[in-house]
């Protein structure tokens, strides 16, 4: 397909709408300590279980097996079978039970072994958890966290490799989080558990073992991050990359490569998919005039599509020198074949190429 939109520096439409200058949301990195994403999630649950007796975990293999991906390691030992509950492989059953318990005042953390299996339970996520507060005219809120690994893992083929970011973000009543680093994971999971509304918390199996620098502030038992706020991971003036989860890693790697040819990229880690921190995106675009969204999920009605649409509807549109570009997973189910799997997912070079095209270099 020939790409026919021209990328000339547009003479049109300099915005008249004022953009509020905000201080950029960058966390200072005192990179003395490291923590894996797995430990960040584990410690977040541990903190919150200690803090609030109503918090409990349920899911497949979460207790005696310590979690299929060892995210709940040690919690069964510490909190016992009342608060860390192994369920049978019956997603719609235990998700519904979790939602009911939340309706009646508990604070369940409902683990899906992977989010692929949340499809078995999606009715309770959408119809029971997301809508009850509205349907009850604000009477019954549902404080629950649905969490587990989301998105493509490696070599597990079509049924086990998909991103549900766009799926769940489409639904009003849900808050949807997709963390990247350990700081994200810890601060946002704690916030999610404390939040009075249903939160879908999308982790990534391939990030669990990654270590990221972490500050003392992050380790504090009262550390939480605001849901709905993006983080600028890297500052730059030439182009903006906006990504979530594993996509942030790709964006940062691509930014590094572009930097070596003199292109400075701003990388926004969305952290939260709903609410979407469109203001941070707009403010970045106003400076860089170029934006690429990066996600591993499918393009069709994806997170990038939503970002593009919201940009079109905002004054950032007038600051664009080129169309918004989405770099996404290919529009096919995930193949097992290794070379095809690579081709089905966005790679650093795809992002670098798209950026160069966009900037006309």
Ligand X SMILES: Cc1ncc(C[n+]2csc(CCOP(=O)(O)OP(=O)(O)O)c2C)c(N)n1
Of 13, 17, 135, 158, the one binding another protein by CB under 8 A? 158
Q: Is the CB of 91 or the CB of 321 nearer to ligand X?
A: 91
Q: Is the CB of 79 or the CB of 223 nearer to another protein?
A: 79
Instruction: Tell me which residues in 96-135 interact with another protein (CB under 8 A).
Output: 116-117, 119-120
CA atoms within 13 A on the CB side of 154: 6
Residues, the chain, total?
A: 361
Q: How far is the CB of 162 from another protein (least distance, A)?
A: 12
Check if 244 is active-site. no
Of 53, 343, 360, 361, the one binding another protein by CB under 8 A? 343
Q: How far is the CB of 298 from another protein (least distance, A)?
A: 9
Q: Is the CB of 6 or the CB of 14 nearer to another protein?
A: 6
Phi and psi at residue 267, in whole multiples of 5°?
Answer: -115, 115
Give how far the C-alpha of residue 147 lies from the chain's centroid of Cα atoms, to the nearest Å. 11
Q: How far is the CB of 65 from ligand X (least distance, A)?
A: 10
Q: How far is the CB of 291 from another protein (least distance, A)?
A: 13
Q: Which window, 181-189, 214-222, 263-271, 347-355, contacts another protein (CB under 8 A)?
A: 347-355
Question: Measuring CA to CA, how many Å separate 205 from each of 14, 119, 160, 193, 346?
Answer: 43, 18, 11, 20, 17
Name, in order, each residue with C-beta under 8 angstroms of 46's C-beta and a sequence gap of 6 or more.
Answer: 74, 75, 78
Nearest to 177 by CA among 228, 219, 121: 228
Helical (H) or strand (E) element with 111: strand 107-111
CA 129-270-346 angle, to 5 degrees, is 105
- Cα–Cα distance, 52 to 107 (Å, whole number): 9
Q: Which window, 46-54, 99-107, 280-288, 350-358, contacts another protein (CB under 8 A)?
A: 350-358
Q: Interface with another protein includes 164 (CB under 8 A)?
A: no
**Strand 84-86, strand 55-59: pairing:** parallel
Which residue among the candidates 61, 160, 257, 341 is catalytic per the annotation? Answer: 160
Phi and psi at residue 200, in whole multiples of 5°?
Answer: -100, 120
Name, in order, each residue with C-beta under 8 angstroms of 341's C-beta and a sequence gap of 6 or more.
Answer: 152, 154, 155, 334, 335
Q: How far is the CB of 4 from another protein (least distance, A)?
A: 10
Check if 81 is active-site. no
Omega before residue 97 within 30° of 0, cis? no
Instruction: Tell me which residues in 313-332 interact with another protein (CB under 8 A).
Output: 325-332
Nearest to 161 by CA among 36, 353, 338, 352: 338
Q: Is the CB of 148 or the CB of 346 nearer to ligand X?
A: 148
338 binds, among another protein, ligand X, none (CB under 5 to 8 A by kind): another protein
141 binds, among ligand X, another protein, none (CB under 5 to 8 A by kind): none
Q: Is the CB of 179 or the CB of 329 nearer to another protein?
A: 329
Query: What are the tokens at 115?
Result: 């989010």
Binding footprint of ligand X on the chain (CB under 6 A): 60, 89, 91, 113, 117, 120
Which residue among the candidates 48, 60, 91, 295 is catalytic per the annotation? Answer: 91
Q: Interface with another protein includes 354 (CB under 8 A)?
A: yes
List residues near another protein by CB under 8 A. Answer: 1, 3, 60-61, 64-65, 68, 86, 88-90, 92-93, 116-117, 119-120, 153-160, 299-300, 325-333, 335-340, 343-347, 350, 353-354, 357
Residues designated catalytic: 91, 160
């Amino acid at each position: 397909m020939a790409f026919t939109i021209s990328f000339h520096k547009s003479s049109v439409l300099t915005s008249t709408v004022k953009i509020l200058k905000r201080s950029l949301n960058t966390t200072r990195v005192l990179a003395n300590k490291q923590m894996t994403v797995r430990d960040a999630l584990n410690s977040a649950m541990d903190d919150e279980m200690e803090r609030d007796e109503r918090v409990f975990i349920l899911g497949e293999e979460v207790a005696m097996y310590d979690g299929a991906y060892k995210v709940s390691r040690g919690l069964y030992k510490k909190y016992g079978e009342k608060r860390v509950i192994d369920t049978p492989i019956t997603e719609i059953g235990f998700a519904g039970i979790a939602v009911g318990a939340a309706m009646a005042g508990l604070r369940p953390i409902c683990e899906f072994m992977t989010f692929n299996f949340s499809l078995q339970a999606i009715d309770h996520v959408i119809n029971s958890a997301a809508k009850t507060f509205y349907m009850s005219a604000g009477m019954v809120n549902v404080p629950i966290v649905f969490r587990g690994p989301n998105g493509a893992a490696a070599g597990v083929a079509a049924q086990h490799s998909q991103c549900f970011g766009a799926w769940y973000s489409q639904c009003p009543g849900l808050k949807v989080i997709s963390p990247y680093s350990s700081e994200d994971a810890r601060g946002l999971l704690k916030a999610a558990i404390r939040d009075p509304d249903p939160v879908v918390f999308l982790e990534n199996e391939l990030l669990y073992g990654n270590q990221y620098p972490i500050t003392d502030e992050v380790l504090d038992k009262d550390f939480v991050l605001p849901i709905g706020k993006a983080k600028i991971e890297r500052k730059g003036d030439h182009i903006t990359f906006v990504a979530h989860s594993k996509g942030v890693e790709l964006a940062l790697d691509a930014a590094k490569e572009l930097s070596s040819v003199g292109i400075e990229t701003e990388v926004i880690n969305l952290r939260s998919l709903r609410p979407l921190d469109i203001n941070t995106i707009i403010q970045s675009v106003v400076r860089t005039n170029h934006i690429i969204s990066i996600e591993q999920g499918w393009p069709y009605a994806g997170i990038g599509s939503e970002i593009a649409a919201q940009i079109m509807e905002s004054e950032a549109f007038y600051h664009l020198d080129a169309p918004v570009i989405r770099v996404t997973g290919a529009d096919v189910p995930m193949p097992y074949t290794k070379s095809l799997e690579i081709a089905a997912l966005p790679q650093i070079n795809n992002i670098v190429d798209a950026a160069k095209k966009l900037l006309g270099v």
